Structure 1
Amino acid sequence: MAKSIKIRAKEKGGVTTVKALMTHPMETGGRKDKKTGKTIPAHFIQEVVCKHKGNTVMMAEWSGGVSKNPYISFKFSGAAKGDDIELGWTDNTGKSDSMTSKIK
């Protein structure tokens, strides 16, 4: 799956930097369709989780206030080059996506 996530992770000096771009409309539920005048329903990522060796190294809870196609960057320690990390999201409609990548 993972068509909505691009992820890069690099380890340097014992610290791993993870950078990820997620493709998602991130609608707040407060905008109106210009053609119909109807409110566009809320559709946003609620939770982002990153795991390394089964342990959660980062978790974020978002709302409709995050921009379209969100970018996230964070650091954690304890990983090594070649290890796998998994980043996944779940949105308010129940849809989800995840991707696994090797640390470089």
Structure 2
Amino acid sequence: MAKSSIKIRAKTKKDVTTVKALMTHPMETGGRKDKKTGKLIPAHYIQEVVCKHNGATVLTANWSGGVSKNPYVSFKFAGGAKGDSVEITWHDNKGGSGTQTAKIK
């Protein structure tokens, strides 16, 4: 996937940081058929999403084919200060991955 496959926004308020991320990915389940050929479209989905705050893991999510195309995730964690870095990385079932880093505002 492309470098810009993740868009991140992170804001902190009263020692709680809210992270919002939109990932660009087809997220095929493997159960849908191509309308032209009638053949099944192979499964292609994100299996793991990891978020790190200044290098420490704050979220690990294990997904399957049941997540929609271009998934959006939002979560909160304690801590974080303006200017700290937040990094999100995903890995899919075909060996693809994407990583993006943003600064907390």
Task: Tell me whether the two structures share a fold, i.e. TM-score over 0.5.
Answer: yes
Code of the residue aligned with 1:2 in structure 2: it is K
Aligned-residue CA RMSD (Å): 0.8
Partner of 1:3: 4
Code of the residue aligned with 1:97 in structure 2: it is G
Cα deviation digits, residues 6-61 of structure 1 (max 9, x gap)? 00000000000000000100000000101001100000000000001211000100
Q: Which runs of at least 4 in structure 1 moved beyond 3 Å after TM superposition? A: none
Alpha-carbon distance between aligned partners in 2 of 1:53 and 1:18, rounded to the nearest angstrom: 14
Code of the residue aligned with 1:54 in structure 2: it is G
Partner of 2:104: 103
Partner of 2:53: 52
Alpha-carbon distance between aligned partners in 1 of 2:3 and 2:103, rounded to the nearest angstrom: 15
Alpha-carbon distance between aligned partners in 1 of 2:34 and 2:98, rounded to the nearest angstrom: 27
1:2 offset after TM fit, Å? Answer: 2.8
Percent pairwise identity: 74
Code of the residue aligned with 2:7 in structure 1: it is K
Alpha-carbon distance between aligned partners in 1 of 2:95 and 2:42, rounded to the nearest angstrom: 14
* TM-score calculated relative to the size of structure 2: 0.96
Alpha-carbon distance between aligned partners in 1 of 2:26 and 2:7, rounded to the nearest angstrom: 16
SS in 2 for 1:42: coil
Partner of 1:12: 13
* TM-score calculated relative to the size of structure 1: 0.97
Q: Does 1:73 align with 2:74?
A: yes
1:89 offset after TM fit, Å? Answer: 0.3
Alpha-carbon distance between aligned partners in 2 of 1:53 and 1:46, rounded to the nearest angstrom: 23
Aligned length: 104
1:74 offset after TM fit, Å? Answer: 0.1
Alpha-carbon distance between aligned partners in 2 of 1:49 and 1:34, rounded to the nearest angstrom: 34
